[in-house]
Structure 1
Amino acid sequence: MTNLNSREVSKKKVRQISFSVGTKDFHERDGIHYFSFYGLIKAYGAALVKWLETYNSDTEKRVDFVDRYDKTISDSRLAVHTNPVVAGE
């Protein structure tokens, strides 16, 4: 949530959340629920490892990934390397 004082927070339907940098994973102060930014980084890293491991167990996913990546790169090359039409040439 980007608005710490949203309508939902005002109605007490959800709580304010924010990041903290420190040793505690979660704590609350002044009505704001803080969670560890470092903990978020670790959780993201663990999720990324799991996702990457699926490419080892299912080689067909690699083919799909390369195919999609190739299309993305090809599209971006077209966008970057097209010559603009200059008036009077």
Structure 2
Amino acid sequence: MEDDSMDFSAVSLLQGFRPALTRLVLGSAALAAAAGLAPAQSGVLYGFKATGTDGNVPVAGLIFNSNGALFGTTSRHHSADRARLR
């Protein structure tokens, strides 16, 4: 007597593969869309005045406070030549 049963292991494998493939395609599309949204920009945040009272010769990186304001230090402050934190 012949065995008429079918082997469904390949079908089972494809059923598990389809959701993974869907996630891969959707994830790739989302990354491609996000990459094209806003190109990186650069520019001058602040230009120090050589004769002003706002300090000059910045010496370190900038930090953000909890409200998003930027702070930094300078090595010279007009006539007094002292550091200034703003």
Quick check: which one's helix share is greater?
1
TM-score, normalization by structure 1:
0.30
Report the TM-score, using the length of structure 2 for normalisation: 0.30
